[in-house]
Amino acid sequence: MSREQDDMKRLVRADAHIQKIVAEFGLDCFPQEFDVIPAQKMLEIMSYNLPVNYSHWSFGRDYEKQRTQYEYSGGIPYEVVLNSNPSRAFLMRTNPYPIQVLVMAHVYGHNDFMKNNIYFGGTRRDMLTSASEAAGRLRKYEEDYGIDEVERLIDAAQAIQLHIDSDLFPKSSDPDADAPKPRNPNAKPAPFSDMFDFEAKLNAKSFEEKREDARKAKKKIPAEPDADVMGFIMRHSPRGFEEWELDILSVIREQSKYFSPQRKTKVMNEGWASFWHMRIMSRLFQDGFLTPEEHGFYNLYNARVLASNPIGLNPYLLGVKAFQNIEKRYDAGQFGPEWERSESPDKWNLDVKAGKGLEKIFEVRRTHMDWFFLDEFLNRQIVEDAELYIYGSKQQGNVEEFTVEETNWRTIKDLVVRSFAHSGIPLIKVNDGDYGGKRELYLRHHYDGLTLEEEYARQTLRHVYTLWDRPVHLETVEVEGNSETRIQLTYDGKGFSKINLGSFVQE
């Protein structure tokens, strides 16, 4: 028997034992499936986001980046786990046995998190099948309408794919719940109506009718600023979309909605999975499923995963330190209004053996996302344990040296929490879909102290114009020194203009 075959049999036995440990620890998981795949296939899944997806040049670009990192810088893709039922995870074949076991333990943490966190509650658990079917349809569109036309539409859609429905909680776990119903109750639905948002096309009045009604009522469309930029354009674009074009837009929008919870919970999700994989691995060693040498190998790789990084925030490290801190504090009784109000430094030494730690972390796992999680729980102890300092760098010959420039934990917390506002995505809303009475589109950036990259904004406006087919305007804020100025960028299909709107005043 080869070493690889022996390792596979050991993995099967380890998986069965991990499932018992997971149940004993109180984790609640979907059935779990593992695929052991070559490195190239792993890199493809990481680049295309899913095992099978539509074709686009950006995925090829991402693949080359992943391949270069893997081949030349030692970056190891440990696993990919997908939000589905049953849960599907991919292990890279070249990972040594103790690392495969580590990854499997880590996957069960992800599985539990994605099954139980409220932000995943309404996501499509059948996205793998849906994406595979969509890939086939888009290949047919390339044959029927030309690769250039399809790619041009995908380029435009991907430019705004993160600006979708901003509802914090999904409305339904039924993937067909949002599908519009035909006016004729006896009519057959479109073959891919589960992916469509035909609210305007099939259910509602035309934009012209809505605009006339709005004018009579002296209202604008939308009545209130709409953060679902992509959905608004799909429903109201004066360009008018063919059915195949709406299908492409809907595929991209649905995938963006599917991945939205991952964006909202990156730190929590990775922290939760790391928190539990360490406990599971410790039990496996105690139970004899890992030799001392294999456990030492695991410790080495685990230390690398949880290493502090001066050039970026490590979500694994921050997440696990936060959950460990919450468990410790709630076990000791370091919570409640009286404890929170106390200014005594001795309050951190309080230990009344409350034993509420596990109960609290399971509650937090269910109810929070990164923004709220870090705002509520990030404290001085976590900042210090995770080495969350603000670093500066300077070049010393051929060596770049990093030095700590800021250690005040409140300053650091404010910076970290702000970076997770709206999942790190600029909040841009449709302010007017009939700007100037000419069906021009007016977008407004809700400025929170972080400015937009102007060249990036300009290129995005080009893509929005492709979808809207009328001049598009973007109001944002430009900062020079201590001066904050409102500006309006406009693209009319031929060129750009920029207007100064005056000093910015916080709303």
**Structure confidence by residue, pLDDT tens digits, 370-415:** 999 999 999 999 999 998 888 777 777 777 777 778 888 999 999 9
What pTM does this model have?
0.86
- Show which of 263, 293, 323 is a domain's final residue: 263
HEC profile for 217-245? CCCCCCCCCECCHHHHHHHHCCCCCCHHH
Q: What is the pLDDT of residue 214?
A: 57
Residue 410 within a domain:
yes
Residues 64 and 79 in one domain: yes
For residue 79, CA distances in Å to 4, 87, 102, 136, 257 come to 18, 13, 10, 26, 22
Residue with tokens 């979808």: 467
Residues 340 and 235 in one domain: no
pLDDT in tens, 219-230: 789 999 999 999
Q: What is the pLDDT of residue 504?
A: 73
Cα(250)–Cα(446) distance, integer angstroms = 26
Q: How far is CA 58 from the centre of its chain?
A: 18
Q: Which residues of 290-326 are buried (b: 16+ CB within 10 A; e: fewer)?
A: beeebbebbeebbeebbeeeeeeebbbbbbbbbbbbb
What are the helix (H) ranges across 73-162?
97-116, 127-145, 147-159
For residue 455, CA distances in Å to 199, 356, 392, 438, 451 come to 34, 50, 26, 26, 12
Give ∠ CA 288-289-295 in degrees, rounded to 5: 90
Residue 438 within a domain:
yes
**Domain range for 84:** 3-117+265-305
pLDDT beneath 70: ranges in the chain: 1, 73-78, 166-218, 505-507
Pairing of strands 472-480, 390-396: unpaired
Cα(46)–Cα(393) distance, integer angstroms = 31
pLDDT in tens, 93-142: 888 899 999 999 999 999 999 999 999 998 999 999 999 999 999 999 99
Residues 135 and 240 in one domain: yes
- Show which of 263, 292, 324 is a domain's final residue: 263
Residues 411 and 488 in one domain: no
Q: What is the pLDDT of residue 393?
A: 75
Type of residue numbered 154: I
Cβ contacts of residue 499 below 8 Å, gap of 6+?
487, 488, 490
Residues 369 and 242 in one domain: no
Query: Closest Cα to residue 198, out of 180, 213, 217?
Result: 180
Residues 439 and 392 in one domain: no
Q: Are 441 and 179 in contact (CB under 8 A)?
A: no
Residues 175 and 256 in one domain: yes
Residue 122 within a domain:
no
Residues 103 and 132 in one domain: no
Residues 255 and 137 in one domain: yes
Q: What is the pLDDT of residue 211?
A: 60
Q: What is the pLDDT of residue 167?
A: 60
Residues 169 and 196 in one domain: yes
Residues 131 and 256 in one domain: yes
How many independent structural domains does the chain possess? 4
Q: Are 412 and 438 in contact (CB under 8 A)?
A: no
Residues 153 and 96 in one domain: no
Residue 15 within a domain:
yes
Residue 310 within a domain:
no
Residue with tokens 């790789």: 301
Residue 208 within a domain:
yes
Residue 300 within a domain:
yes
Q: What is the pLDDT of residue 224?
A: 93
Which strand (E) or helix (H) includes residue 487? strand 483-491
Q: What is the pLDDT of residue 507?
A: 59
- Show which of 278, 305, 332 is a domain's final residue: 305
